[in-house]
Each structure stands twice: as C-alpha cells, then as structure tokens.
Amino acid sequence: MNEEALNTTIRKFLKKLGITAQREIEKAVRDAVENGRLKGNESLRAKATVAVSGINLNVEVDGNIELA
C-alpha cells in the first residue's frame, strides 16, 4: 500500500465532499428562508454519513448549523 497515495486520495475525496455539501446546504437554507420555511435565525441539526465499500466503513458525524 502506498501511504502517500492513500492520504492524497482521501484528502481529495473529503475536499470534494466538503465543497459539495456546503453548496447544497447553503442552497437549501436560502431556499427555505425565501419560501418562509425558516426565519433565518435557527440552529439546524445536521448529520453526515460516509460509507466506504470494501472495508465495511460507515461513519456518522453529527453537528449544528447556526443561521444567526
């Protein structure tokens, strides 16, 4: 196993995940505020799940997203 290749590809995956998730969350929050489903001062519970096939890895990360 090449440790450098492993580290590099994990970092690339996590960067893609982070950028994609941030864009989607921001879009969904903006839409919800515009449509009146949110006021814009809420705290939203968030959960992300990362699954990696072949090694039976399934990790959940919980957190809060503060709008104000």
Say whether pTM exceeds 0.85.
yes
pLDDT tens sequence across 10-34:
999 999 999 999 999 999 999 999 9
pLDDT tens sequence across 28-50:
999 999 999 999 999 999 999 99
pLDDT score for 6? 98
Rounded-to-10 torsion of CA 60, 62, 21, 45: 140
pLDDT score for 24? 98
**How far, in Å, CA of 16 to CA of 50, rounded?**
13
pLDDT score for 5? 98
pLDDT score for 61? 98
61 sits in which H/E element:
strand 57-66
Q: Which sequence spans correspond to the domains of the chain?
A: 3-66
